[in-house]
Structure 1
């Protein structure tokens, strides 16, 4: 990516994910790299803990590009954590409370309906390091 050929969210040319990730530094602040029908494909840099939250009407898809992502889940009165090493995918079902974290940092790709809020429909108090957004345009 360069100044004359910025990556945009709705383009018909390939997007180099490494270049897209190099274009921003903010944690827990996803960038939209492309759209597929009514879905955003977002990339994010993450470290530490996100916030407990749930998406009432949509599943949430995660692909770990680098590092390890952990997702704590609260379902059926129990709590468990899944560990996702690089290259792993996981889908959090709609309505399930979850809290992503990455103690050593990670980069992830998310696939969600356009307009989905990063802190879900229900969430704990949002800490300062978490960006409550529906995704930012990559070149914005």
Structure 2
């Protein structure tokens, strides 16, 4: 049995490095220091990240994703019925992204985000056809 250990989110953010100007083409090597796995959870994990810029499209076929903004702000875009639904989120706000919905982040000035993300995650640098 795994022991429970308290996690201090601010301490975890002190271990990640701010990634400036993320793009959909930013590779795993370039992003590895801006993201951290806090804990495994169900079929995925709890993550924190700190970056500015624009993410690639992604979706999760095994469950909903929980997104909590802990600092800064972001536009979280969901692709629903081939229409982009834009959600302007700032510190203290959260959003649950339904299972299978393509989404991406836009953050010109930077965002600190915590997610509970089921795996696997599909990625696309091109805008996919909506669900």
Normalising by structure 2, report the TM-score: 0.73
Q: Give the Å deviation of 1:37.
A: 4.2
Distance 2:70 2:100 in 1: 25
1:86–1:11 Cα change, 3 Å? farther
Q: Give the Å deviation of 1:123.
A: 1.4
Q: Give the Å deviation of 1:41.
A: 1.3
Q: Alpha carbon RMSD of aligned pairs, Å?
A: 2.1
Distance 1:40 1:109 in 2: 10
Per-residue CA deviations over 1:70-118 (Å, capped at 9, x if unaligned) read 11121113112101111111011122111112111011111123xx25x
Q: Give the Å deviation of 1:69.
A: 1.9
Distance 1:63 1:11 in 2: 25
1:78 maps to what in 2? 83
- Which runs of 5 or more structure 2 residues have no equivalent in the other structure? 20-30, 127-131
Distance 1:112 1:74 in 2: 18
Q: Give the Å deviation of 1:18.
A: 1.1
> What does 1:107-118 correspond to in 2, within 5 Å?
107-113=112-118, 116-117=119-120
Write 1 or 2 for the structure with the bigger share of helix.
2
Q: 1:11–1:34: 8 Å Cα contact kept in structure 2?
A: no
Number of matched residues? 112
1:20 maps to what in 2? 12
> What does 1:87-106 correspond to in 2, within 5 Å?
87-106=92-111
Distance 2:42 2:102 in 1: 26
1:18–1:78 Cα change, 3 Å? same
